[in-house]
Amino acid sequence: MPSEQSLTERLLNGEPRAVARAITKVESGANGAAALMKEVFPKTGNALVIGITGSPGAGKSSLVDKLALFYRDRGERIGIICVDPSSPFSGGAILGDRIRMQTLGLDKNVFIRSMATRGNLGGLARATVDAVAILDAAGFEKIIVETVGVGQDEVEIVKTADVSVVVLVPGMGDDIQAIKAGIMEIGDVFVINKADREGVLRTEKELEALLSLAHRPDFWNSPIVKTVATENKGIEDLAKAIESYNDFQKTGESGLNRKQAIARWRLLELLRETLLVKTLKVNGASDRLEKLALEVAEKKRDPYSAVEDMLNSI
Amino acid sequence: MPSEQSLTERLLNGEPRAVARAITKVESGANGAAALMKEVFPKTGNALVIGITGSPGAGKSSLVDKLALFYRDRGERIGIICVDPSSPFSGGAILGDRIRMQTLGLDKNVFIRSMATRGNLGGLARATVDAVAILDAAGFEKIIVETVGVGQDEVEIVKTADVSVVVLVPGMGDDIQAIKAGIMEIGDVFVINKADREGVLRTEKELEALLSLAHRPDFWNSPIVKTVATENKGIEDLAKAIESYNDFQKTGESGLNRKQAIARWRLLELLRETLLVKTLKVNGASDRLEKLALEVAEKKRDPYSAVEDMLNSI
ipTM attached to this prediction: 0.85
Find, in chain B, the residue whose alpha carbon is nearest to that of A299: B42
Q: Are A91 and B150 within 8 A, CB to CB?
A: no
On whether the CB atoms of residues B305 and B292 are closer than 8 A, the answer is: no
Q: What is the pLDDT of residues B146-190, one digit of tens each?
A: 986 666 677 778 888 999 998 888 875 444 544 555 566 778 999
Among A11-25, A55-69, B96-110, B259-273, where is mean pLDDT lowest?
B96-110
Q: What is the pLDDT of residue B250?
A: 84
Residue of higher predicted confidence among A287 and B119: A287
Q: Are B271 and A279 within 8 A, CB to CB?
A: yes
Residue of higher predicted confidence among B216 and B45: B45
Q: A239 vs chain B: nearest CA distance in angstroms?
A: 23
Selecting from B34, B149, B274 the residue whose C-beta is nearest the C-beta of A149 gives B149
Q: What is the pLDDT of residue B159?
A: 80
Distance of CA A9 to the CA centre of its chain: 25
Selecting from A41, A150, A154 the residue whose C-beta is nearest the C-beta of B56 gives A150
> Which residues does chain B have within 8 Å of residue A64's beta carbon, measured at their own beta carbons?
none
Q: What is the pLDDT of residue A102?
A: 55
Find, in chain A, the residue whose alpha carbon is nearest to that of B160: A297
Q: What is the pLDDT of residues B165-175, one digit of tens each?
A: 988 888 754 44
Q: A263 vs chain B: nearest CA distance in angstroms?
A: 5
Q: What is the pLDDT of residue B84?
A: 66
What is the rounded average pLDDT of the residues B83-110? 56
> Which residues does chain A have within 8 Å of residue B179's beta carbon, measured at their own beta carbons?
56, 148
Q: A201 vs chain B: nearest CA distance in angstroms?
A: 19
Q: A71 vs chain B: nearest CA distance in angstroms?
A: 23
Find, in chain B, the residue whose alpha carbon is nearest to that of A300: B42
Q: What is the pLDDT of residue A270?
A: 92
Q: Tell me the range of A280-294, B49-63, B199-213 where mean pLDDT is highest.
A: A280-294
Measured distance CA(B235)–CA(A231) in Å, rounded: 41
Task: Give me the residues paired with residue A278 across strands.
Answer: none
Domain boundaries, chain B: 4-269, 282-313
Measured distance CA(A185)–CA(A246) in Å, rounded: 16
Q: What is the pLDDT of residue B170?
A: 84
Q: What is the pLDDT of residue A104?
A: 63
CATH superfamily of the domain spanning B4-269: P-loop containing nucleotide triphosphate hydrolases (3.40.50.300)
> Which residues does chain A have within 8 Å of residue B292's beta carbon, measured at their own beta carbons?
263, 267
Q: Is residue B253 very low, low, confident or very high in pLDDT (cuts 50, 70, 90)?
A: confident
Q: Are B274 and A121 within 8 A, CB to CB?
A: no
Write out chain A's pLDDT in tens, 314 residues.
Answer: 555 558 899 999 999 899 999 998 998 877 778 999 999 999 999 999 999 987 767 788 889 999 999 999 999 999 999 886 544 333 334 445 545 655 665 677 899 888 865 555 667 888 899 999 999 999 999 999 998 666 667 777 888 899 999 888 887 544 454 455 556 677 899 999 999 988 898 888 888 887 887 777 788 999 999 999 999 999 999 999 999 999 998 887 777 888 898 999 999 989 988 999 899 999 889 999 999 999 999 989 999 999 999 999 87
pLDDT score of B263 more than 90: yes
pLDDT score of B58 more than 90: no
> Which residues does chain B have within 8 Å of residue A94's beta carbon, measured at their own beta carbons?
none
> Which residues does chain A have within 8 Å of residue B249's beta carbon, measured at their own beta carbons?
none
Q: Using CB atoms within 10 Å of the CB of residue B246, give its burial: 0 to 12 exposed, 13 to 18 middle, 19+ buried.
A: middle
Query: Would you state the CATH architecture of domain A4-254?
Result: 3-Layer(aba) Sandwich (3.40)
Q: A50 vs chain B: nearest CA distance in angstroms?
A: 18
